[in-house]
Amino acid sequence: MHPENSPSISNEDFEHLRQTNLGRLIEDVHFFFDIQAMMYLRQSNYPMIKSADAHVMRTMRLEGTRITDMAKQAGISKQAMSKLVAGFIEHGFLVWSNDPIDKRNRIVSVTDEGRELLVCGIAALSRAEKDISDVVGTAGLEQFRQLLLSIKHAKNIRPIISHPHDRKRRA
């Protein structure tokens, strides 16, 4: 399309749309939430936890899980997840063991120290939710949660939404 035939939009209108579109707002709130939760976790005697470590914390399973499953769930490469998990092993939060079903795979299991980390992580998430609740109120937070769940589980928009596990994120 030639510039003379393209639709016209002012810089002001463009900037307004750029800042207020739904994707941008969700991303901004997600970023705020993650930063707050990470700050609370670091204040809870876990200063070594980095933002990228959220990929591990979100995919750790008390019963243990394969690194490939963790990577797929986080939407990152197996290599990136392996590197993050190695840091958790170094700090004593996780341990490796051989997969009894498939010897080519290893299972990542949570240690007692890892369970303590997860408990502090849950408390940090609760505090970050409280920060949002302080802005929108308890009812507003629950309404927001229900709206997000409705969108997440909507069958009529499912085909146009790619699941986070199907895309790669930066670690």
The per-residue pLDDT for range 58-116, each reduced to its tens digit, is: 999 998 999 999 999 999 999 999 999 999 999 999 999 988 888 888 899 999 999 99
Among 29, 33, 77, smallest CA distance to 51 is for: 33
The rounded distance, in Å, linking the Cα atoms of 67 and 106 is: 7
Q: Which strands, in side-by-side order, build the sheet including 65-66?
A: 65-66, 106-110, 94-98
pLDDT value of residue 166: 52
**Domain ranges in the chain?**
18-151
Instruction: State CA 169 to chain mean position distance.
Output: 10
- For 18-151, which CATH class? mainly alpha
Q: Say whether 42 sits in a helix, a strand or coil.
A: helix
| Side-chain-facing half-sphere of 121: CA atoms under 13 Å | 19
The per-residue pLDDT for range 113-159, each reduced to its tens digit, is: 999 999 999 999 999 999 999 999 999 999 999 999 998 888 777 55
Sign of the alpha-carbon dihedral angle for 36, 117, 142, 24:
positive
Rg (CA), the chain: 20
Mean pLDDT of the chain: 88
Amino acid, res. 162: S
Provide the whole-model pTM. 0.78
Average pLDDT over residues 20-37: 94
